[in-house]
Structure 1
Amino acid sequence: MDKSGAAESAAAPAEDKKVGELKSELWRLVRLIVDDDDGRVDTYDEAAKALAELKYLTFGSPKVPQHFLCPISGMLMRDPVILVSGETYDRAFIQELLNSGNRTCLRSQEVLSNAILTPNHLLRTMISEWCKEHDIPLPQPWSQDGGLITTIGHKPLHELLDNMSSLSLQKEAMKELRLLTKHNKASRALLGEKPDTIPQLLSVLSAPGLTSDPEFHDDTVTTILNISIHERNKKILGDDPRVIPFLINSLKYGDMATRSNAAAALFSLSALDSNKVKIVELGAIKPLVQLLKQGGETARRDAASAIFNICLDPENKEKAVKEGVVGVAWKRVMDKSLVDESLAILALLQRKQEAVLEIGGSGGVPALFGIIRESTSRESKENAVALLHAICKWDPVKRRKALEEENLSNTIRTLCDVGHRGASEKAGKLLLLLSGVEERKKKTRGIRIL
């Protein structure tokens, strides 16, 4: 959901919840591109897909018809082709899957008698007309050099999985799988197609010396993260009783890179509500809060993403407060190391009185006024004014302090007048609350005069 909308109500609409998850995913992908210099086409395409869907949910852009989307990538098809099974896929992605040795149609589960790809000119024309009608740039076919990395240079997927049963080959196989699943969408999809494939991979979790070998440990955690990106794999991984405990253990005892990747994996898995419950029940909040407190910049962001997603479930908010997330997130706001992300978490907790009072007692009123005036982020302005309203609602002393600040600066009135709709509405509610204080002050002064 929109991070500001997420803070508005525990009963937020499912669409708002989806917006927040898309923003979190987009944030992760953009960070890969900007901070980690991840220049692969694969990452850019995933970010473009998340941004397009976010645009649709936020501004009401037209939803792409389901049959225009490739079953493998989930993206608008650039070069639709028909398999012998009669099912249509985007050429680049189905070719990649065929190159990996797969000969089963993902949709029909039919064994393919040949690997001939026939252009679907009718569907290509329909996509072109739909794009023109909705003023959307027509996606061009992937170039031959196009950045989709096939299994060339890697061992076949089935061979890598078979090597998981050999103690002498496990470490090298996991390194290959990490690279393959990072760069290759089709390999992620393929891993989830056969019921025994992911359990075969996860058999390595019981390997002796796994967690004592930092490189092997990190490769394993990161491979799970990569696999979890494919939507269908989130449930498979979450339902395996070994995965979430392994990731939580990695959060506690891995090196910083491993802890960061474990947090990112938990964030990815927490897109499913059923996984949110398991992640919290198995004790992930405390080590995530510790990572938010002690980690490096990337690790803190990954921890914040996971905590935010987890707290979208109303029942998890109380547990997050008890584990100290408020104090840690507020410290990240005050030291300006993770302002936007931390405010989003705190705004989710605005209905928890103890959370609000803790912020108010830690310099919350002047700091939030400063954020509203200085921040360039619309979401942060909205979340800051929402938190201010909550503080003023619960604490009459801070309410009077906020009124004094507002009378000096006109910060909230300005936001009400020129802010975007969400922030403006929240600013209006805060002004109404503060105006009640002003009226009572006037009445009190009138009584004293008499």
Structure 2
Amino acid sequence: MISQWCKNNGTQLPDPTQYSNEDGITEADRDHFISLLEKMSSTLSDQKEAARELRLLTKRMPSFRALFGESVDAIPQLLNPLSQSRSQSDIPTDLQEDLITTVLNLSIHDNNKKFVAETPMVIPLLMDALRSGTIQTRTNAAAALFTLSALDSSKSLIGKSGALKPLIELLEEGHPLAMKDVASAIFNLCIIHENKARAVRDGAVRVILKKIMNRMHVDELLAILAMLSGNPMAVEEMGELGAISCLLSIIRENSCARNKENCIAILYAICFNDRTKWKEMREEEKTYGTISQLAQNGTSRAKRKASGILERLNKAVNLTHTA
């Protein structure tokens, strides 16, 4: 009707795109965004309403994620209800979930990753969320740490902040909804050397090995354990916790070539760092020939690692006989 009236009266309708930028954000969108952030310093009902809307907008509209990068105050305003609260138990669980999920949505935007991670309150509040709130909040906090850790500078920052410990604790709890996101976050963080040592100190080896022994999320957790096997303390702990028989049984039972490769890589690290485990490997090899079979049928990396173990074990036997 408006279009027809304008046509009849010789009036041209304004172009709806003239007030928008290249990201599709209009001035009305920008004003709405500012008003939602202002509500974060208002009443609890206003905070809840605004948090829910920001969660939905940042999920559906990449342009809204980009808006947060235009102001250094946007994220502190967003997280004001969490940062101003005296304790996590004072925060309504639905409000915490909406705000943490909004942080996750923001983190997906590549241009946001660096400044979100470097906003001082973000990582501590994500760590708080890992320990409290709904399981969805805790899962989304882990997912946010995973997406933020795409940058090496953020991997270091997150590691130094102490985030590995609550991630490992959540992994130990073993809630099915959280496991994949938690494992992904730990894996990503442990790509850098300094975080491997932190993860080992925070008990990752014991937690991960116990899950693997119970055949839980074997694919993801073996990948982390293989990464940690570059750390001498981790290797020693694996040997003490009975990793050898567990890993060899997975090689025999599991059809996944990548899992077999990760298992033999860990066994290789144990073999070359702990002579006391050679006897156990030799006896298992006599009974099942697991390592020999992998040396013939594995991936190129698995063959190389398996052959290296067999060579070391044979050399040790020959030296004993010669002596």
TM-score, normalization by structure 2:
0.84
| Correspondence 1:189 to 2:66 | yes
Determine the C-alpha separation between the residues in 1 that align with 2:61 and 2:322: 70
1:435 aligns with 2:314: yes
Give the conservation status (yes or no) of the 8 Å contact 1:250–1:258: yes
Q: Secondary structure at the match of 1:426?
A: helix
1:392 is aligned to 271
List aligned pairs for 1:308-387, cutoff 5 A: 308-387=187-266
C-alpha spacing 1:207/1:174, structure 2 compared with 1 (3 Å) = farther
Deviation for aligned residue 1:418: 1.9
Q: Give the aligned residue type for 1:174.
A: A
Against the structure 1 CA distance between its residues 213 and 102, is the aligned structure 2 distance closer, same or farther, given a 3 Å change threshold?
farther
Aligned residues of 1:210 and 1:216 also touching (Cα < 8 A): no
1:391-438: CA deviation from partner (whole Å, max 9, x where unpaired): 112222311211221232222222222222222222222222222123
What is the aligned length? 303
- Of residues 431-440 and 288-297 in structure 1, the stretch that sits farther from structure 2 once superposed is 431-440
Residue type of the alignment partner of 2:154? N
Partner of 2:57: 180
**1:95-244 paired onto structure 2 within 5 Å:** 103-105=20-22, 157-167=33-43, 168-193=45-70, 195-208=72-85, 211=88, 212-244=91-123
Q: Which structure carries more helix by proportion?
A: 2
Checking the alignment, whether the CA contact within 8 Å between 1:163 and 1:169 is kept in structure 2 is yes
Question: Contact between 1:357 and 1:395, CA under 8 Å: does it hold in 2?
Answer: yes
The answer for the alignment partner of 1:246 in structure 2 is: 125
For the 8 Å contact 1:251–1:263, the answer to whether it is kept is: yes
What is the CA–CA distance in structure 2 between the aligned matches of 1:101 and 1:178, rounded to whole Å? 27
Pairing partner for 2:288 from 409, 418, 431: 409
* Residue matched to 2:5: none
Alpha-carbon distance in structure 2 between the residues aligned to 1:208 and 1:411: 57
Distance 1:443 1:102 in 2: 87
Structure 1 pair 417/309, CA: closer, same or farther in 2 (3 Å)?
same
**Are 1:273 and 2:128 counterparts?**
no
What CA distance in whole angstroms lies between the structure 2 residues aligned with 1:251 and 1:414? 43
Structure 1 residues not aligned, in runs of 5+: 1-97, 113-150, 445-450
Cα distance change, pair 161–394 in 1 and its aligned pair in 2 (3 A): same
Structure showing greater radius of gyration is 2
CA displacement 1:168-203 (0-9 Å, x = unmatched): 411111112212222333332343355554444334
Percent of residue pairs bearing the same amino acid type: 44
Distance 2:142 2:284 in 1: 39
Contact residue 113 and residue 148 of structure 2 kept, 8 A? yes
**Closer, same or farther: CA 101–414 of 1 in aligned 2, 3 Å:** farther
Whether the 8 Å contact between 1:292 and 1:301 is mirrored in structure 2 is no
CA distance in 1, matches of 2:19, 2:174: 41
Q: Is the 1:100–1:157 contact (alpha carbons within 8 Å) kept by the matching residues of 2?
A: no
- Is contact 2:82-2:96 (8 Å) kept? no
d(CA) in 1 for partners of 2:138, 2:244: 34
User: How many angstroms does 1:244 deviate by?
Assistant: 0.5
Distance in 1 of aligned mates of 2:204 and 2:320: 36
Alignment root-mean-square deviation, CA: 2.8
- Deviation digits for residues 204-234 of structure 1, max 9, x if unmatched? 4335589420111111111101110111111
Letter in 2 for 1:405: E
Check 1:189–1:422 CA distance in 2 against 1; reply closer, same or farther (3 A cut): farther
For residue 260 of structure 1, what is the amino acid of its counterpart?
T
Matches within 5 A, 1:252-291: 252-291=131-170
- Deviation string 1:276-315 (CA, Å, 9 cap, x unpaired) is 2221222212111111111402223222211111111101
**Structure-2 separation of matches of 1:202 and 1:183:** 20
Shift, 1:272, TM fit: 1.4
Letter in 1 for 2:179: R
Cα distance between partner residues in 2 of 1:169 and 1:414: 65
Pair 415,172 (structure 1): closer, same or farther in 2 beyond 3 Å: same
Alignment TM-score, normalising by the size of structure 1: 0.62
Alpha-carbon deviations, 1:114-140, whole Å to 9, x = none?
A: xxxxxxxxxxxxxxxxxxxxxxxxxxx
Matched-pair contact (CA < 8 Å) for 2:149–2:185 = yes
1:385–1:423 contact (8 Å) kept in structure 2? yes
